[in-house]
Amino acid sequence: MKGVRAVFRKEFRSYLQSSMGYIYLVVFLVLANWLFLRGFFIVNQLSFRSFFLLMPWLFLLFIPAITMRIWAEERKLGTIEILFTLPLKESQVLIGKFLASLAFLGISLLLTLPLPITGAFLGSPDVGQIVGGYLGALFLGAAYISIGTFASSLTDSQIVAFILGAIICFALFLVGENFVLVTLPPSIASVFRYLGLGSHFDSIARGVIDSRDVIYYLSVIWFFLYLSLRVVEDKR
């Protein structure tokens, strides 16, 4: 646990210390607010549904950007050798890194809170939907983070890691979307629907927390984190 904490602190600090971290935050917040508010006054209805439906798309750029450095940078700098000659298990290092990215994501989500809070002053939004939306965003984000971490383990170039991460996230998000599903025979379509990142997000974001969705996200997270660990070990 102490090992995880040490890695977590180092990683988390590096997000807040580099100017990149702040740039990501600002871009994320500006985009999220602007895209939401653009439609807000047109619809003339107090619903945050459209706000949360933006998240999968925003995350597609934002999360690979925060995860691209996770392994690629260590490898490029050679510090991976320091990291893996410390008396830590590989899994401790990985979990520390994952949690730090998750915490950074959590902060960026917290910083979008002024929107629903303002909404609460203006009218009476559906609180259950908002809570569900944030929860869904956190699960979806965590899944993206694990995919991004995996992408970062494949290369020592951060740019490649970013693009790779975005592509895998996009692909996994897309396979569950309706416009893909309608082209498939029904038997395969149901499998794809389950595999897609998006459909599970939709149901949580609607405020329905189903254990199947939670299990799905946890499996995706575990799967890609495990894969990245294998890759990191093999690549030494």
Partner 1 sequence: MIEVNDLVKTYGQVRALDGVSFSIRKGEIIGFLGPNGAGKTTTMRIITGYLRPDGGNAVVAGYDVASYPIEVKRRIGYLPEDNPLYMDMQVREYLEFIGEARGLEGSELKESMDRVSEIAGISGVLKRPVGELSRGYRQRVGLAQALLHDPDILILDEPTSGLDPSQIVEIRGLIKELGREKTVVVSTHILPEVSATSSRVIIINKGRIVAEGTIEELERKAEKGETLYAVFRDGRADLERELSSLDFVEDFQLVSVDGDEFKFAIKPRGDEDIREKLFDFAVEHNFKLLEIWRERATLEEVFLQLTTEE
Task: Let me know if 222 is exposed, middle or buried by CB neighbors in 10 A (0-12, 13-18, 19+).
Answer: exposed
The CB-of-170 to partner 1 minimum distance in angstroms stands at: 30
C-beta of 147: minimal distance to partner 1 in Å? 25
Pick 17 or 190: Cβ nearer partner 1: 17
In the bound state with partner 1, the residue whose beta carbon lies nearer, of 44 and 85, is 85
Residue 229 C-beta: closest distance to partner 1, Å: 15
Helices (H), the chain: 2-17, 19-43, 49-67, 69-77, 80-83, 90-110, 114-122, 127-153, 158-174, 178-181, 186-195, 197-205, 211-235
HSE-up (13 A, CA, CB side) for residue 206? 8
Which residue, 38 or 230, is less far from partner 1 as judged by CB? 230
Rounded Cα gap, residues 3 and 87, in angstroms? 8
Which of 5, 38 has the CB closer to partner 1?
5
User: Running DSSP on this structure, what letter comes out for residue 209?
Assistant: -
CB-wise, 78 or 186, nearer to partner 1?
A: 78
Identity of the residue, 92 or 149, whose beta carbon is nearer to partner 1 in the bound complex: 92
Are 100 and 17 a contacting pair, CB within 8 Å? no
CB of 79 to partner 1, least distance (A): 5
Q: Which residue has the tokens 């450095």?
A: 69
Which residue's CB is nearer to partner 1, number 89 or number 212?
89
Torsion sign across C-alpha atoms 60, 61, 66, 69:
positive
Distance CA(77)–CA(12), nearest Å, equals: 18
- Name the minimum Å distance from CB 112 to partner 1: 27
Q: How far is the CB of 108 from partner 1 (least distance, A)?
A: 20
Q: Interface residues with partner 1 (CB under 8 A)?
A: 2-3, 5-7, 9-10, 13-14, 17-18, 77-82, 84-89, 236
The vertex-233 CA angle with 227 and 236, nearest 5°, equals 135
Task: Provide the minimum distance between the beta carbon of 58 and partner 1 in the complex, in angstroms, as a whole number.
Answer: 26
